[in-house]
Each structure stands twice: as C-alpha cells, then as structure tokens.
C-alpha cells in the first residue's frame, strides 16, 4: 500500500527504528479452571504451556521472515528479542528459526503423540490452544499463517479477534481484555516504549502479575515468574553504571526468550509520510513532529 502511494511521486514513507515489539505472549496460568473464584489465577499452572518443549516448538513454528515479507513489509523488522533498540541494550545472543521438522521432533521427544485428527495428546490433554489478538487486518493475517504452521506440527490453534476498544481496555466486567488474558496465547505490541527498557520489562516481573486483586491491571498478563529475572530487574532499577545496566537488560531479555515467556515477531519502526522535498529527521522514540524546528525544504 505504501509503495503504491509513493509511486504517485507526492512523497515518501519514512521508517524510524524504535522499540515497539510485536510479540505473542504465552499464558502460564490456567485460563480454563477457577481457583479462589478466579480464572487464570496466578496460583494455577497451565496444563500444556507449562511444558517448555511445547513453548519451544511454538517458537519454531513462527515464520517471522515469511510474515515480515508477506504481511508487514517495511513496517516490521524481524527479531528474536523482546527488547529491541537502542543498540547497547539489544541482545546479540538470540536467533530465530522457522523449523517445522524440529518442532515435531521436540514434541515427539516430550511425549506428545498424534491423536484424532492429527492433534497431539499427552496425559489426556490435547494440544489445542486459543490464540487471541485485537481486530486488525495485519494481526488476523499473522494468526492465519501461524495456525497453518502449527497444524503441521499437530497443534490446533483456535483463533479469536477482539475489538481493539475492548482488547486494550481496563473494563473489569469484560472477559476479553488483554489484561485478563483468558486464552492460551495473545499478540500485541507495547507501543511507545521508552529508550530505557526498564518499565517495558515489567511485563515479565513477578510482582506485576495480572489478577482480580489488582483489577487485572498488572502488566504481567502471562503470569510467568522467574526468580533470577525478578532479582536482576530490581538490581537494574538502581544500577547507575550505564554499561553494567545495559548488560543487565541484555540478560533480562535472554531469560525471557530462553524460557519462551513470549515469542517476538517483529519490531515496528515509526512510520511517517514526508512530502516530496521535505527533509526531516524523524525519531522512533517521539512524536512525528518532535523535531519540526529542524525541518527544511530542499531547494
């Protein structure tokens, strides 16, 4: 679409790197049982996704490169990291791979056997997962691509899209908010992340678990808890040495990715349109007009 607009010669699109990461969050609590009168209670454990082999298989089944090329185009940059940009806090350690054969091998080794209709089963539990996101043409295309790949590994995905006004709301009475996360997987991006990723990393902090007690406003919607992560995040909050702090952020990213608490897809640069002849330095960390005092028109 952007290329067709640019072909008119009126202007061009500008893509400024930022830190907005589109990712699939994994549910570690059980959204289908009630504990103390609450679904997905932090005390519960997911009967399927608690198995790390399943989470690793799910990561291998996400065709990031294919999705970027066919769906996002220049508006998405493939990544294996939850923390992207600036460079000093971006981990060089994570690699992404799309490998259906390896996903199948992992599930075979973990004891998930093909059952009726090719869907894998273990201990009476089917590998059938509910994958939700907001209603958005791009996200629905990603859901479809992911569903097809998962099906080839014996994982059945049920897709659900929720109106954005509901999905991103804080409505306590609505069961479909991203905060309640009464599903197995959900996808969205934390838009407008600061250059310092500390607050963003609260999405995985053990003291930020979303629950009825905090009206599902806790940032950790997946209810994942890791003692090393929590300790290091607390330390990073007060560390003043920028080099040490950057190393902490890289380690925090690597813990999340290593445990597959979330599956990163792309980071989304800030997209703006510039009229032909306009020279403007656009930042991916601020509003489009933030540097307007420095703009000028080419002669």
Helices (H) and strands (E) in the chain, counts: 8, 13
CA distance 169 to 160: 17
pLDDT the model gives residue 193: 86
Instruction: Record the pTM.
Output: 0.95
- From residue 251, give the alpha-carbon distance in Å to each of 10, 19, 81, 247: 45, 17, 11, 6
pLDDT the model gives residue 1: 83
Whether residue 161 contacts residue 132, with contact meaning beta carbons closer than 8 Å, is answered with yes
pLDDT the model gives residue 192: 75
pLDDT the model gives residue 2: 87
Local structure of residue 209 (DSSP, 8 states): B
Residue ranges of the chain with per-residue pLDDT less than 50 = none
pLDDT the model gives residue 191: 79
């Amino acid at each position: 679409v952007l290329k067709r607009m640019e072909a008119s010669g009126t202007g061009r699109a500008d893509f400024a790197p930022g830190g907005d990461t589109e990712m699939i969050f994994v549910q570690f609590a059980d959204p289908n049982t009630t504990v103390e009168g609450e679904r997905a209670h932090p005390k519960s454990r997911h009967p399927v996704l608690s198995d790390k082999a399943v989470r690793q298989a799910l990561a291998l089944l996400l065709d990031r490169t294919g999705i970027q090329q066919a769906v996002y185009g220049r508006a998405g940059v493939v990544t294996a990291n939850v923390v992207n940009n600036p460079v000093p806090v971006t981990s060089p350690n994570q690699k992404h791979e799309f490998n259906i054969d390896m996903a199948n091998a992992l599930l075979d080794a973990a004891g998930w056997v093909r059952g009726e209709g090719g869907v894998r089963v273990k201990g009476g539990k089917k590998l059938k997962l509910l994958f939700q996101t907001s209603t958005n043409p791009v996200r629905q295309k990603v859901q479809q691509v992911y569903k097809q790949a998962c099906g080839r590994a014996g994982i059945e995905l049920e897709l659900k899209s929720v109106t954005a006004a509901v999905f991103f709301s804080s409505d306590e009475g609505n069961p479909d908010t991203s905060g309640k996360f009464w599903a197995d997987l959900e996808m969205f991006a934390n838009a407008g992340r600061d250059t310092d990723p500390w607050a963003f990393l609260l999405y995985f902090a053990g003291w930020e678990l979303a629950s009825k007690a905090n009206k599902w406003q806790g940032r950790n919607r997946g209810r994942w808890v890791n003692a090393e992560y929590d300790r290091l995040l607390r330390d990073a909050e007060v560390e003043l040495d920028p080099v040490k702090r950057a190393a902490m952020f890289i380690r925090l990213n690597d813990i999340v990715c290593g445990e597959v608490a979330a599956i990163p897809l792309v980071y989304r640069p800030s997209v703006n349109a510039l009229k032909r002849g306009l020279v403007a330095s656009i930042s991916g960390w601020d509003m489009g007009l933030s540097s307007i005092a420095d703009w000028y028109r080419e002669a």
